[in-house]
Amino acid sequence: MMELEEDKEKFQVKQFNCMLSDISEDYPQTCRYELEFYRGIFGKSVQRTQCQRDGAASCIYEIPKS
């Protein structure tokens, strides 16, 4: 499940069911590849502010509007 939140400056994508969670336990670079995927679509300024692999409840990606 995903949620999309928006404020004046950014969009925030929250992923609650990471499809890479099992793989990322042995291959943590998969999380980096997912970030690069988002950056390839939305630009290099996308940031991941939370990661389920690190124990967070969701992976959160912030996408600036400008």
Radius of gyration of the chain (CA): 12
Q: Where are the domains of the chain?
A: 2-64
CB atoms within 10 A of CB 29: 9
Summarize pLDDT for 15-61 with one digit per residue, the tens.
Answer: 999 888 889 889 989 999 999 999 999 999 999 999 999 999 999 99
Could you tell me the pTM of the whole model?
A: 0.88
What is the rounded distance in angstroms from the CA atom of residue 17 to the CA atom of residue 43?
Answer: 24
Confidence tier at 12 by pLDDT (50, 70, 90):
very high
What is the rounded distance in angstroms from the CA atom of residue 28 to the CA atom of residue 25?
Answer: 6
Whose structure tokens read 């509007």? 65
